[in-house]
Amino acid sequence: MNKFLLFLLMIPSALWKRLGADVEQLRAILHVKLMMDNRKPLSFGNNRGVEHKKKKDRKYTTWLTMLFSFFMGFVYVFPIIITEFDPVIGLAFFYTMFIFIFTFTLITDFANVLIDTKDKFVLFSRPVSDRTIMLSRLLYIMIYLLRLVIPMSLPAWIVFGIIKGWKGALFFPFPLVLLVFVVLFLVSALYLLMLRLASPGRFKDVLNYFQIGFSIVFFAVWMISSRMINPEGFKELRVEAYDGVKYFPSYWIAVCWTWVEGAAKVLPGTRWMSILAILFPIASLWATVKFLAPHFIRGLVASDNDNAPAVPVAKSSGKKSKKQFYTWANLFNKSDAAKAGFVLTWLQTSRSRTFKMRVYPSFAYVPVYFFFILMQGGRSFTDVWDNLSEGQGYIGLLYLTTFVIMQAINYITMSEQYKAAWVYYATPVDKPGDVIAGAYRAMWVKYFMPFMAAISVFVLFIWGGSVLFDIILATVNITLFSVVIMRMSNRALPFSRKEQMKDSGFRTMVRVLGTMLLMGALWITHYGISNLFYLDKVVNNTFLSAFISTTWLTVLSLVLKLVFLVLSSVFLWLVFDSLRNTDWKSLQKSEQYL
Amino acid sequence: MEPIITIRNLSKSYGEKVALNNISLDVYPGQIIGYIGPNGAGKSTTVKILAGIIQDYSGDVHVAGINLAENVLEVKKKIGYIPELPEMYDLLTPREYLTFIGKLFHLSDDVIESRTVRMLDSFGLKDNLDQRMDSFSKGMRQKVLIVSGLLHNPQIVILDEPLSGLDANAVIMVKELLQVLKAEGRTIFYCSHMMDVVERVSDRIVLIDKGVIVADGTIEELRKDSSDSLEKIFAKLTSSDDTVQRAGSFASAFTDHMEKPTADE
């Protein structure tokens, strides 16, 4: 597969040459990069502890990723079906979804490839021009995009072929290539521009916060727009109703369909825009390579930390400044190993850009998700807000905080510097479980506790003091849930595992879904107990009503909640104890670190 | 005198590959052992076993009378291990990193603080105490690494290529430090490729090749009345005395296509 894609990308080598790249070097760089990728272990769903499984497994990495994308692709079939009525707007809609999802993937995952400085000693010291290096990276990312695009668009391709016949089937892949170009060059132009404008030392931080902000916006827009679109309205979807669409590249690309079906309806006077669809990607490619590439490496090297001036973390006062987290560490941990794990995790998570990138957006997901759920059925925001205190939405809101702790504990075992974990093995650590428990507590205290507190204040403000017990129960349940996950699937020393960059956006989405299901079970039980009053209505007119009164149900509800709380607490204690007693035998061997 | 380290019939394999083949060795307190050998000879494996990092070996290892296999934690407390590569969590500052290490050794906050400041000060890093290590040069990292290995006042110090990346002044300081540590009765296990340094600092030299000890003694004993340098002895014993010829054949690889080095490029 990679060989085929590499072959495809090297077809326009005359163009690459004109853009100032050395084609032979370009091919060599791409070949090595792809070869290395195929030797990396599988990025999702694998047991990272067992890295020396059969070599064969790794060969299937590419194929498995593609299979996964194929299933994701069924989501995008929908707008294609409506193309029966109005193909141009249907396609425009389809392309918009694709542009959206790929921009997201690019900005969060692959853009780091573009600005990677890991191979600086290998490449930057050799006679390879900036343009060659930059183009090699762009094409490398492009191969990744194509590997996602091809399987993801396959279901839509088939459906489109059925509706529009062989002409449609033949036409379909062509605009997608244009689309990939548009996304790739827009995003890289943005990054390179930032590299030029931001001061080198700050570039990576600026980028980091940009990525976090973008993920949040993306998520909010995605959730809310998918909620606001009324499926019934699709049947009425006509291109005339969306005049503004002509300003977007996805529409230009969709207009290309008129080459095949001349009679297809477009906005008046926009037929020529299909030319834009071709010109725009080429122009952006040219502009990116011509204007932004020349200072590419200089900017990258300057932004690299090795060359940046040392940044003091705190004023060196000669005396140790007692920091807040040391107090927390002493408060929450008894053993020295746990304290060490607590402080290390606290500091690393404050400073690791990858960690922040992956975890901070989830803070914003909570309120977004909350309103997304409430706005189901096309309710407006003001409608939801005005009637908020009447329902029992607070239970859902409280349980949504699970995202925060889940994302945090998912990434504390990973680090770019996982090799530094040798110290655990060379120091007299009796039970590594202590260090792991300390790391968990750090995440609980640092992220979950303040977040839960803020949500609780909001909940108490809207719903009143009577829900206090629910807050306590939810806190215990979420803690229990996260400790179970930590114990089952994430039992490793903090920052001792290799980062798995590839497709992390997808992995996040899959995990978010899984988490939602499990968390849902706890939430529904809690919700059910709180809603015993409905029983009252059910039995109201039957003979049972003589036995069941509202007071009785209130008492029953409280008792059940208390039982639930006690059970959860006992389980929490048991599971946490088991986590804390993790011994060396259940962890990875030390060999990989040195 | 009782040996502080006793190794008997120590073997270790990685799958098919034998890294250590039946090694036996006694080390006495206050000695500096120069542990040398070609790449892949088994040096690092030996010291990683001593440091308690690799635990699945066969044979007996006793450190200060404690059986390593039975009580690895006690042994780790007595050993300060300074690995070859400065792999550290470099998003932390030296002060934070050393506090972390100190906690793993159960040191009190005050002890960690005073040792950290004083040790880093003697390496000239006092001004860098609160700077993140990701901006540090290799030598600066190496210095923090050395401090992290000595922080808990170990009886035995294992140094794997400790001088790599250090500037000339720091090299002199480390060499002095070795003598001070030795004078205090500590045992030092010194792995290196730098023969001249090994020759000068070591009381005893152990040469290992292909997992077997091929020479063991003082530099005088190894010379056996010849005036060879340690480098020469090393070459002879590790059967690579045709180095001159090999270098010649390496250089002749260019001549295949009759290319001459060009000056104008």
Summarize pLDDT for A331-365 with one digit per residue, the tens.
898 899 999 999 999 999 988 888 887 788 878 77
- B42 inside 8 A of chain A by CB: no
pLDDT for B139-187, tens place per residue? 888 899 999 999 999 999 999 888 877 888 888 888 888 888 899 889 9
Interface touch A348/B92, C-beta < 8 Å? yes
What distances in angstroms separate CA A442 from CA A333, A481, B14, one per listed residue?
10, 17, 37
A310 and B52: CB-CB below 8 Å? Answer: no
What residue ranges of chain A have pLDDT lower than 50?
A: 42-57, 306-310, 315-320, 501-503
Q: Tokens for A475? A: 């806190």
∠ CA(A183), CA(A184), CA(A190), 5° rounding? Answer: 90
- Whether the CB of A590 is below 8 Å from some CB of chain B: the reply is yes
What tens digit of pLDDT does each residue of B85-133 get? 888 898 899 999 999 999 999 999 999 999 999 999 988 899 999 988 9
Give the per-residue pLDDT at A594.
56
Please report, for chain A, the start and end positions of each structural domain, with discontinuous segments joined by +: 2-9+22-41+57-303, 324-593
Q: Determine the residue of chain B that is closest to A306 in CA distance.
A: B135
Q: Does A308 touch chain B (CB under 8 A)?
A: yes
Q: Are B104 and A343 a contacting pair at CB < 8 A? A: no
Residue in chain A closest to B117 (alpha carbons) equals: A318
Task: Out of B44, B54, B135, name the one closest to residue A310 (CB).
Answer: B135
Closest chain B C-alpha to A26 CA, distance in angstroms: 22
CB-based contacts of A270, cutoff 8 Å, min separation 6? A246, A251, A255
CB-CB contact of A264 with A89 (8 Å): no
Token match 């607490």: residue?
A569
Residues with Cβ < 8 Å from A32, sequence gap 6 or more? none
The number of beta carbons lying within 10 Å of the beta carbon of residue A380 is: 10
ipTM above 0.85, yes or no: no
Minimal CA–CA distance to A223: which of A367, A33, A401? A367
Contact A352 B104 (CB under 8 A): no
- The nearest CA of chain B is from the CA of A285 a distance in Å of 32
Note the pLDDT tens digit of each residue in B10-43: 999 888 888 899 999 999 999 999 999 888 888 8
In this prediction, residue A50 carries a pLDDT of 36
Residue to substitute from B57, B93, B103, interface A, most A β-carbons within 10 A:
B103
CB-nearest partner of B76 from A310, A336, A428: A428
pLDDT at A372: 73
Flag whether residue A311 sits within 8 Å of chain B, measured between CB atoms. yes
Beta carbons of B87 and A336 less than 8 Å apart: no
Q: Does B69 touch chain A (CB under 8 A)?
A: no
Q: E-assigned strands of A502-558?
A: none
User: pLDDT category, B198, cuts 50, 70, 90?
Assistant: confident
Domains assigned to chain B: 5-250 (3.40.50.300)
Retrieve residue A268's tokens: 């008046």
Bridge partners (DSSP) of residue B158 are B81, B189
